[in-house]
Structure 1
Amino acid sequence: MLLTFFSFLSSLLFSTTAPDWNTPYEKSKGTKTATYQECIDYYQRLDEAYSEIKMSAVGMTDAGKPLHTVVISTDGDFDPQSIHRKGKAVLLVQNGIHPGEPEGIDATMMLARDLMQNKKLKAQLDKVVLVIIPIYNVGGALNRNSHTRTNQNGPESYGFRGNARNLDLNRDFIKADSRNALTFATIFRTWDPEVFVDNHTSNGADYQYTMTLIPTQHNKLGGALGHLLKNSMLPALYKGMEKRKWPLVPYVNSRGELPESGIFGFMESPRYATGYTALYQTLGFVPETHMLKPFDQRVQSTYDLMLEFLDFTAKNVNNIRAARAKDRSAVRQQQEFVLNWAPDTTEFELLQFQGYEAKYKPSEVSGQSRLYYDRKAPFTRTVKFFDTFRPTITVKKPKAYIIPQAWHEVIARLEQNQVDLKRLTKDTVLTTEVYYITDYKTLPRPYEGHYLHTDVQVRQEQLPIQYFAGDYVVELNQISNRFLVETLEPQGLDSYFAWNFFDSILGQKEHFSAYVFEDLAAEYLKKDPKLKAALEEAKAKDPALAKSARAQLNFVYQNTPHFENTYLRYPVTRWQGGKLPVK
């Protein structure tokens, strides 16, 4: 009986003991970052303790483990559509895309807890729902070490930049080679966030700042949101971080080793997280803490910056939503789209930049002159900041794109992005706008698993094309218009053509034997004076052609019905006509 009483007393004492909500980072006094399992377990505990928090496994990653979201919604509503109908904004925070840069992982764990336990902070969630991806690159987080971030000051150990397939996931948002990227597309398109934050750590020059920031490039974002970003949100973030004793500076993207020579805005193409999110009119940010600052300072500045994102979004939710609605309405009607940009070096802002003097001394390795930054010689200097970009390639949108069903890898990516697709209901011949690839350059070495094409040149023709029931029609009257144009136009910097999804059209399938074609070629030249004149003109302009019998035969061959008209013909065509037989 006495034993039973003491057991009861012990259980009562145990049950009233306050739970320990300190994170692994806090328990280590700022020297360690949470492991993948510690992170997931911590959020699971928050889910169990607070009805306002819901953790879900959304989809799979290349590591064979799920990708999680943690949603913090104070009214217990976890339905994205319902949340948007209520006029709330969604703030999506992603951590650990590069797990060797883990500040966001630890800062967001603390933030989620504090939002539940601090009434003043929690009040901001009346107008904002916070969605967290605890660790995006699960495979990289599991590949833990203490050495691969060679230039970084802590923590004691961390994850690896490459994922389970050794992909850099911050180059994968369009090509989506990873399961991670496919799952992210589902998360992003489902939650449709007004604001997106992707936490990182920098590399590069040494300077006084702990936190730098890459916002979505305002020209590329454009419209009302681009104006709000540049003239309202960024000034507020800079002012707020100044008050918190973490002065901000644009990400130090300089054209040389010395930042004082000028800083250039970062033009994030759609392969990058914020380049991708901009396609859907989302305000995107990449905080980049400085690699050489102590880990605890990097974590704290990340925590404070996320508070600033939350604060601005909560205070300006109506303005953000109104600007976004205006831009989304405009993009449905927009007729011309930009495929590539270049910095305008004639326009710049002046920044007061706090750096360290760059000096040189003999290298103890090579004996040659080497750069170092003298932290005993800080300075504040006026620096030019070039953050205006101009379009270099633009294209008018078609009424629709037609994609043969054979290109299923492209179709799968459109479906993952929740693009509205229709299908032809019968076999039919349609006269469409067709591109032929006339020139392109290809990287000599693989880049993220692909031999990327650049400087793509095209010519356009009107041709009758045979289509079949089940081929896809993508109408350009949806909020996905920017995504569609920038991926399906072959000259887009991160188009599916650039990423090799259509490379089989670049190989000629049929050829000729010269000794057989000689007589046939002679007959064509006799019967077609225009062809003979074109050959003579080409020979006059090109000495190499004039000296090569084979090249001359090939010239004739390419101008006869024997030459395959699918060679270099881009399979995605542009439809400008009337109604199509679709469902």
Structure 2
Amino acid sequence: MRKMISPLLSIAALSIAATAVAQQPTKAPLPGLPASVLPPVQPWSGASEALVARKDDPWITPAEQTGFATTPRYAQVEDWLRRLDAASPLISLESFGRTGEGRDMLLVRASKGKDGSGAAKPVVLVQAGIHAGEIDGKDAGLMLLRDIALRGKDGLLDTVDLIFVPVYNIDGHERMSRWNFPALRGPAEKGYVGNSRNINLNRDYAKADAPESRAMIGLLRRLDPILYIDCHVSDGFDMQYDITFTYAGWGRYAYHRATADWLQRRFGPSVTAALEKAGHIPTLYPNPIDTRAPLKGIRQAPEGPRYSTGYGDFIGVPTVLVENHMMKPYRQRVLGTYVLLEAALKLAGQDARAIAQAKASDRVSRPAEMLTRWKPAARPIGWVEAFKGIAFDTYVSPASGRKEQKWLGRPVDWRMPIIGQEPFEQVRLPKAWWVPAGQAEVIDRLTLHGIRHEVLAAQRTLTLDRVRLIDPRSTPPRDARIPLETKLVHEDVTETLPIGTVRVPADQPLGLLAAALLEPESQDGFLAWGFFPEILAAPSGVEDFVQAPIAEALLAADPHLRAAFEAKLANDATFAADGDARLDWLSARLPEPSPYHHVYPIRRESQ
């Protein structure tokens, strides 16, 4: 899910969305409010309904037991999985980390053991509940594991292993409430979007602040899967499609072409065919430009490594984002997810060698440039000629005082533009980056991600690119950080680097990820995420009776500086009237200004 639910929206919608399909019999809607605010349910039936266990099946999952009205708590999930582990030699459980509140992060391995040569089989990694209210993948995964272990679908494991993380954001999952995710049609109670620190874990892959993120990054490095699937539920607008999925930039804007091409040419068509055969209506995830005006089009854009899909692209792992449609009943969404996961396992088994070759090809590639800023293209880059939409009307809401949408439940076809992106800023990657030894938080992240770096054993003098910040400003806090926006100026300097300085070469398989973290222009970089608050602090002050004569001498000695100063005085009345600002501006231009104030601490070694 790309957009977080605002608390105000949750309060306004209350729990009434959860009652839309009578999935909350014990909790009546609030007095005076309608029983549902969700649009009419589209009638649906499909072959995937045969996947649901009978009520008397001893291996019925908790969600199936309630007719998909509810989803089980984490303890119930663990108990059910431990029982399955005891019943089948194909299933094993393992802890791969701990959450912020100390809960074990469990994974399930479904495996027939090593291949005929004694080598470990390639892995398909599936995760559910990174946004813990979007939990379809958990209940679909439990059903699929049962059928692999006990119902004859073990052939899916002939050439690959399945690693399944039933709940990624466990702390958020346990904050279940009927008030969470009110636009989702079931289950009755859902988990919360953020973890125990309210970090959105699908914005945390690059900066890796949360223990859950660090555990998942470690798991990705250990497994190096041939396919990584991240299960979500969409937000947006009403439509006929029920199961949607996508990849980084729909593949068009991916950096690693071989894996992106496999996703587009093999994964998409194969999974789409399986879903259609099972009675579902799949498509690539239509991320709307404007939910209030769907006909403005759907967005196709690059992605940075803060997201699972972007991170997968940057590390060369084929990664799929599943975005089930929020307004479809929970039962329908879970069954569609099952079909998608089963089809993905089959395909990964068939294409294991081709995927491994694609990954290897990507990892020897060395992109010379990285896109850092883009804007919507002036014209559509394509069209969906018959997009399966839902008709809507508008009405004036007495609450908002403006026109709001009312979805009518009537299928319509739209001609939908696809809005691509045009680059307007990209950076040429340097030969290497130099990180001061004192930047422990940065060096820790490099190590965590597996980015190769070396420590300087003797002093070294080099000409390097130094970056200064111009007019930096903090932006509203999010995900446990206070991000930073700034203009930048690059300048060549000759510096002697002390022992212990860390060199990060760009020529390595993860050189692109290193660039996304270390380039000062990067939207997912350490600078943008506010990792260096110390560089914003003003330099130590000096008495005005000393500072003013020094500034006067500087003006007298440098006619170019004097002209720039006079121009600023003429054009900025506030600045001209502020004596402190005038002295600070001049002091920043002394021959030896502060080595920290507004100076990006990481240097770039040019090619």
TM range (shorter): 0.7 to 0.9
- Do residues 465 (structure 1) and 495 (structure 2) align? yes
Q: What does residue 372 of structure 2 align with?
A: 339
CA gap 1:237/1:385 in 2 versus in 1, 3 angstroms: farther
Q: Which runs of 5+ in 1 are unaligned?
A: 1-17, 578-583
2:357 aligns with one of 322, 325, 343 = 322
SS at match of 1:308: helix
Q: Deviation string for 1:302-356 (max 9, x for gaps)?
A: 111111212222222222222221111113xx32222344443421132422222
What is the alpha-carbon distance in structure 2 between the residues aligned to residue 137 and residue 420 of structure 1?
29
- Do residues 352 (structure 1) and 386 (structure 2) align? yes
SS at match of 1:349: strand
Q: What does residue 299 of structure 2 align with?
A: 264
Q: How many Å apart are 1:476 and its aligned residue?
A: 1.8
Q: What does residue 481 of structure 2 align with?
A: 450
What is the alpha-carbon distance in structure 2 between the residues aligned to residue 343 and residue 283 of structure 1?
26
**Equivalent residues of 2:466, 2:603 under 8 A apart:** yes
What is the alpha-carbon distance in structure 2 between the residues aligned to residue 243 and residue 385 of structure 1?
27
The aligned amino acid for 2:239 is: Y
1:295 aligns with one of 326, 330, 339 = 330
Larger radius of gyration: 1
- Do residues 507 (structure 1) and 537 (structure 2) align? yes
SS at match of 1:356: strand
1:28 aligns with one of 61, 66, 71 = 66
1:276 aligns with one of 311, 315, 323 = 311
Q: Deviation string for 1:488-538 (max 9, x for gaps)?
A: 001111111111001211222223332232333333444455544554455
CA gap 1:90/1:559 in 2 versus in 1, 3 angstroms: same
Q: How many Å apart are 1:369 and its aligned residue?
A: 4.3
2:599 aligns with one of 558, 561, 569 = 569
Q: How many Å apart are 1:246 and its aligned residue?
A: 0.9
**Equivalent residues of 1:51, 1:76 under 8 A apart:** no
How do residues 82-481 of structure 1 correspond to structure 2 at under 5 angstroms? 82-83=119-120, 88-119=121-152, 121-217=153-249, 218-222=251-255, 223-256=257-290, 257-265=292-300, 267-331=302-366, 334-346=367-379, 347-363=381-397, 369-375=403-409, 377-386=410-419, 388-443=420-475, 445-454=476-485, 456-481=486-511
What is the alpha-carbon distance in structure 2 between the residues aligned to residue 69 and residue 248 of structure 1?
28
Q: Deviation string for 1:272-294 (max 9, x for gaps)?
A: 22112211112222212222221
Q: Deviation string for 1:388-444 (max 9, x for gaps)?
A: 44433222222221111211111111111122221111344433221112244532x
Report percent identity of matched pairs. 29
**Equivalent residues of 2:133, 2:181 under 8 A apart:** yes
Q: How many Å apart are 1:474 and its aligned residue?
A: 1.3
SS at match of 1:220: coil
Q: How many Å apart are 1:93 and its aligned residue?
A: 0.5
The aligned amino acid for 1:318 is: R
SS at match of 1:199: strand
Q: How many Å apart are 1:263 and its aligned residue?
A: 1.5
Q: Deviation string for 1:344-376 (max 9, x for gaps)?
A: 34211324222221112454656764320111x
What is the alpha-carbon distance in structure 2 between the residues aligned to residue 560 and residue 499 of structure 1?
29
The aligned amino acid for 1:60 is: R
Q: What does residue 90 of structure 2 align with?
A: 52
What is the alpha-carbon distance in structure 2 between the residues aligned to residue 418 and residue 532 of structure 1?
49
CA gap 1:547/1:397 in 2 versus in 1, 3 angstroms: same
- The count of corresponding residues between Structure 1 and Structure 2 is 547
CA gap 1:553/1:98 in 2 versus in 1, 3 angstroms: closer
SS at match of 1:221: coil
The aligned amino acid for 1:337 is: M
CA gap 1:537/1:379 in 2 versus in 1, 3 angstroms: closer
What is the alpha-carbon distance in structure 2 between the residues aligned to residue 24 and residue 245 of structure 1?
24
SS at match of 1:393: strand
**Equivalent residues of 1:252, 1:263 under 8 A apart:** yes
The aligned amino acid for 2:318 is: L
What is the alpha-carbon distance in structure 1 between the residues aligned to residue 401 and residue 295 of structure 2?
27
> How large is the Cα RMSD of the aligned pairs?
2.6
Q: How many Å apart are 1:143 and its aligned residue?
A: 1.5
What is the alpha-carbon distance in structure 2 between the residues aligned to residue 130 and residue 39 of structure 1?
18
Q: How many Å apart are 1:133 and its aligned residue?
A: 1.2
Q: What does residue 102 of structure 2 align with?
A: 64
SS at match of 1:241: helix
**Equivalent residues of 1:258, 1:358 under 8 A apart:** no
What is the alpha-carbon distance in structure 2 between the residues aligned to residue 341 and residue 82 of structure 1?
44
SS at match of 1:29: coil
CA gap 1:266/1:40 in 2 versus in 1, 3 angstroms: farther
CA gap 1:335/1:268 in 2 versus in 1, 3 angstroms: closer
The aligned amino acid for 1:338 is: L
CA gap 1:389/1:533 in 2 versus in 1, 3 angstroms: closer
SS at match of 1:108: helix
TM-score by length of 1: 0.87
The aligned amino acid for 1:506 is: L
Q: What does residue 550 of structure 2 align with?
A: 520
User: Which shifted more, 363-372 or 315-324?
Assistant: 363-372
User: Which shifted more, 397-406 or 549-558?
Assistant: 549-558
CA gap 1:266/1:556 in 2 versus in 1, 3 angstroms: closer
The aligned amino acid for 2:172 is: G
**Equivalent residues of 1:341, 1:389 under 8 A apart:** yes
CA gap 1:493/1:519 in 2 versus in 1, 3 angstroms: closer
The aligned amino acid for 1:498 is: A
The aligned amino acid for 2:448 is: Q
**Equivalent residues of 1:260, 1:353 under 8 A apart:** no
Q: What does residue 13 of structure 1 align with?
A: none
SS at match of 1:164: coil
